[in-house]
């Protein structure tokens, strides 16, 4: 199956078979004509609800069920953000993150094209997602991970029995190297911002926009690393707006962890190109990309929509992670908590008014994380016969 691609930066056209980047150096995305599109009048809940805007495949098994995640009205966060807060809970996807949307489209297209193997470069969520989707379709899956990956994260990937290679000598070089060797060996790599992944991940945006149609929400705040998800959100906004389906498009705000924030640093310098940074340690390890392949596209998305790119430190991330649990009941990964931490900073800078609808994208579940130490003093111990008195004292 060949699919038409397009470059957001210079407008050049390409084909999926030719590779994933334009001659100008920027990443391609799938070209979609949304002019004839209408919000679907069907009961379909998965991302295939938007099949008119996706590659023409008819997925089965796991690839059929990603997407359709809850959009929760989180009124107990309104005071923090100074607006009406909603949380898009991507933890409800089959393997617990929005990566399933991109994996679903990548695996479904590979399967429909008669490929026997798919692959990805990841140290966590994307690897788990690709391995699971490939397993369900009976495709081989090659996962390239950094050699120093923590054992517990390796275990979460290994459950789905992919071929795992621990690679030394520069994890940052793997993105390009994998696409090259994949083409030679018939492995369809669906990396962080490749066109099929972005096509699938644009459906997070489509679901949010449909919930607020015909206007958008006022702002969407989302964690960013490679820029693949951000690109998908922008693609959804741009295409629907230019096709006349979105009267009032949202501002897109992207949040990074301060210890590894190449896109936010470029934004602060008012540059239109991202420069790689040295890796720093952060609790938000899922968003610690030192050389984001779609970084420039994220800068364009922020400026085109009247948004921004910002960075938040680990203390703010951990505080936001706790607030999300205590005031929304959602158990999110540290990386996702950057969205609330960033929204707090935006609110302090006067970005929102109380009538604004602000959507925080909680990109993944926290049940995959190990650092869930109890907060505060240990719960007290009581004898079963003393329960009556104990409850009376805590409730009074």
**Residue 135: helix, strand or coil by DSSP?**
helix
User: Is residue 27 at the binding interface for ligand PLP, with CB under 6 A as the rule?
Assistant: no
CB 326 within 8 A of CB 64: no
Closest separation in Å from C-beta 300 to ligand PLP: 14
We find the least distance from the C-beta atom of residue 235 to Zn ion, in angstroms, to be 15
- Identify what 7 binds: Zn ion, ligand PLP, none; CB under 5 to 8 Å per kind: Zn ion
Q: Which of the listed partners (ligand PLP, Zn ion, none) does 229 bind, with a CB threshold of 5 to 8 Å by partner kind?
A: ligand PLP
Regarding 333 and contact with ligand PLP (CB under 6 A), the answer is: yes
Q: What is the largest CA-CA distance in the chain?
A: 75
Q: Is 20 in the site for ligand PLP (CB under 6 A)?
A: no
- Helix, coil or strand: residue 146: strand
Please select the residue that binds Zn ion; options are 3, 16, 22, 57, rule is CB under 5 A. 22
Cis before 332? omega within 30: no
Separation of alpha carbons 223 and 236, rounded Å: 17
Q: To 10 degrees, the CA torsion angle through 369, 374, 376, 380?
A: 160
Residues from 348 through 387 that contact Zn ion (CB under 5 A) = none
24 binds Zn ion (CB under 5 A): yes
Q: Which is nearer to ligand PLP, 224 or 258 (CB)?
A: 224
Q: Is the dihedral of CA 360, 263, 243, 17 positive or negative?
A: negative
Minimum CB separation of residue 295 from ligand PLP in Å reads 9
95 secondary structure, DSSP code? T
Q: How far apart are CA 89 and CA 348, in angstroms?
A: 24
Tokens 């030679």 correspond to 184
- CB of 242 vs Zn ion, minimal distance in Å: 18
Binding mask 187-226 for ligand PLP (x = CB under 6 A): -----x------------------------------xxxx
Which is nearer to ligand PLP, 46 or 226 (by Cβ)? 226
In order of 66, 84, 241, the CA distances from 347 in angstroms are 32, 12, 26
Say how far apart CA 396 and CA 392 lie, in whole Å. Answer: 6
- Please select the residue that binds ligand PLP; options are 106, 227, 249, 250, rule is CB under 6 A: 227
Say whether residue 229 binds ligand PLP (CB under 6 A): yes
Q: Which DSSP symbol is given to 71?
A: E
Q: Does 228 bind ligand PLP (CB under 6 A)?
A: yes
Q: Please answer whether residues 320 and 344 qualify as being in contact, where contact means their C-beta atoms are separated by less than 8 angstroms.
A: yes
Burial degree of 294 (CB within 10 A; 0-12, 13-18, 19+): buried
Kindly state the tokens that stand for 274.
């991202």
Q: Candidates 26-34, 102-110, 251-259, 271-279: pick the segment binding Zn ion (CB under 5 A).
A: 26-34
Q: Which of 34, 277, 336, 340 binds ligand PLP (CB under 6 A)?
A: 336
Summarize as ranges the residues that interact with Zn ion (CB under 5 A).
Answer: 7, 9-10, 12, 22, 24, 26
Summarize as ranges the residues that interact with ligand PLP (CB under 6 A).
Answer: 97, 99, 125-126, 192, 223-230, 286-287, 333, 335-336, 363-364
């Amino acid at each position: 199956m060949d699919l038409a691609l397009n470059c957001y930066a210079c407008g050049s056209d390409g084909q999926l078979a030719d590779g994933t980047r334009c001659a100008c150096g920027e990443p391609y995305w799938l070209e979609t004509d949304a002019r004839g599109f209408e919000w679907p009048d069907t009961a379909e809940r998965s991302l295939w609800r938007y099949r008119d805007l996706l590659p023409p495949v008819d997925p089965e098994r796991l690839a059929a069920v990603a997407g359709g995640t809850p959009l929760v009205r989180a009124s107990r966060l309104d005071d923090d953000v100074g607006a009406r807060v909603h949380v898009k809970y991507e933890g409800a996807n089959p393997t617990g993150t929005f990566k399933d949307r991109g994996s679903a489209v990548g695996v479904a297209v590979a399967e429909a094209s008669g490929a026997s193997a798919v692959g990805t470069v990841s140290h966590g969520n994307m690897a788990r997602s690709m391995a699971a989707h490939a397993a369900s379709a009976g495709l081989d899956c090659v996962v390239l991970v950094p050699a120093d990956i923590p054992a517990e994260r390796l275990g979460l990937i290994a459950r789905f029995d992919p071929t795992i290679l621990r690679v030394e000598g520069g994890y940052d070089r793997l993105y390009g190297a994998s696409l090259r060797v994949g083409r030679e060996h018939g492995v369809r790599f669906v990396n962080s911002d490749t066109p099929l992944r972005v096509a699938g991940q644009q459906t997070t945006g489509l679901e949010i926009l449909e919930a607020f149609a015909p206007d958008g929400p006022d702002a969407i705040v989302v964690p960013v690393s490679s820029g693949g998800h951000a690109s998908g959100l922008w693609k959804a906004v741009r295409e629907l707006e230019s096709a006349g389906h979105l009267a009032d498009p949202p501002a897109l705000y992207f949040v990074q962890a301060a210890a590894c924030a190449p896109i936010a640093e470029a934004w602060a310098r008012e540059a239109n190109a991202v420069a790689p940074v040295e890796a720093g340690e952060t609790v938000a390890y899922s968003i610690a990309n030192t050389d984001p392949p779609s970084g420039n596209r994220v800068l364009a998305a922020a400026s085109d929509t009247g948004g921004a790119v910002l960075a938040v430190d680990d203390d703010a991330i951990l505080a936001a992670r706790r607030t999300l649990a205590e005031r929304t009941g959602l158990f999110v990964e540290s990386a996702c908590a950057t969205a609330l931490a960033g929204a707090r900073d935006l609110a302090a800078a006067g970005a929102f008014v109380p009538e604004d609808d602000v959507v925080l994208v909680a990109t993944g579940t926290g049940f995959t994380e190990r650092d869930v130490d109890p907060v505060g003093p240990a719960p007290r111990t009581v004898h079963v016969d003393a329960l009556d008195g104990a409850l009376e004292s805590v409730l009074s």
